[in-house]
Structure 1
């Protein structure tokens, strides 16, 4: 190690994280995501039926704690993964930032990559608050939760190219979104333009997801990006569907005449 390198001991638990065991576990168990999705579907449809004739619950304090905990997790994740991505971009360029698999093995990013994919299971709990509080549950919300969980677990096991961009963007948008919802749940007045900003960021994330998928496919042909055709197809279809749905949500919520007061989409 030369004088310019940072001692791994400074990273503590992140550097000690055994990413190889995590990847092996995911390779053997990624299909368990379907079990979570099945239970989640029961919550979505069975829960709404259960609450149909019952009084809605307030749950304001638990919602504040839930949203705040996910906001803190996302902020830290965005900072840690963002730092890695900025380092790769500045030192090796854009192409390497997409194709390099180092995101899954870096002394800091390796822990947050695994924490990211695992977090997609508990994040399904967002919907429980919507169901129990008898709020409007849109298709985009539960469709997004299911597909992100499945794709994240499916992709992590193969450490495919593009993961660094996908995860860092998601962490960053979540940092904004969950902070916004924690503030709203706490009864704070949040400027309306912030909701527009969050949905715009979500749309930008989806557009970038489509672009990254296309670039991975292009550079995979020359052997520069490690991925698989089926993974790229699923990623492109998933992000394209999100792009359409989020754009439609943006129009219906912020642009259409007679639309209700702006509210960020709690789906990403």
Structure 2
């Protein structure tokens, strides 16, 4: 293994994911080879249903691959038990979801502090300082005592980013972070992620929005569960669109 690969935060070699329902098999990911290195901003793009969210779930140790080798911060996923995966998720990975996933009964500050509740031995004063710093980094310190229902969608997503950052993770995983936002709020959240990347954060973002995919250092194209290069992606997309146009034409004659 090269020095470049061994220093990667996430390493995937021949990763596949198969979901089974009785005798039926759904091959969601096939033969994925991918490295994410410290300080990179990677965007994973592709149409709905192509396996983007599944790929992010594997990176975040929320799921395990059906085959292939997955390493996160040098740890082999195959050798980790459930408790070990949970511990690594809490210490190494920050998550930002499309639907925000804030708890309505908790204040902004309490929502951001949640990941720290699993950190044993962390003094209360340090927790409070980390929460304050995380909220300040996303411009939401003035809303610390508000509740999610009192915030706009864009503000809720910024709080979700602060929650992901509070544990100082090695990598930030964002799953369609602008998917539930209008264009203006989407641009604000993307500007925030770009600024965080500029300060040295490692970010891997899933998106189907071409406007935002190109802000990353590297764009990974995913189609039908496989990583494809740009020319192959464009060709397959064209063939799929031509096939759809042909089917529509045939249906018009019925």
TM-score range, shorter chain: under 0.3
Provide TM-score, normalisation by structure 2. Answer: 0.22
Higher helix share: 1
Provide TM-score, normalisation by structure 1. Answer: 0.21
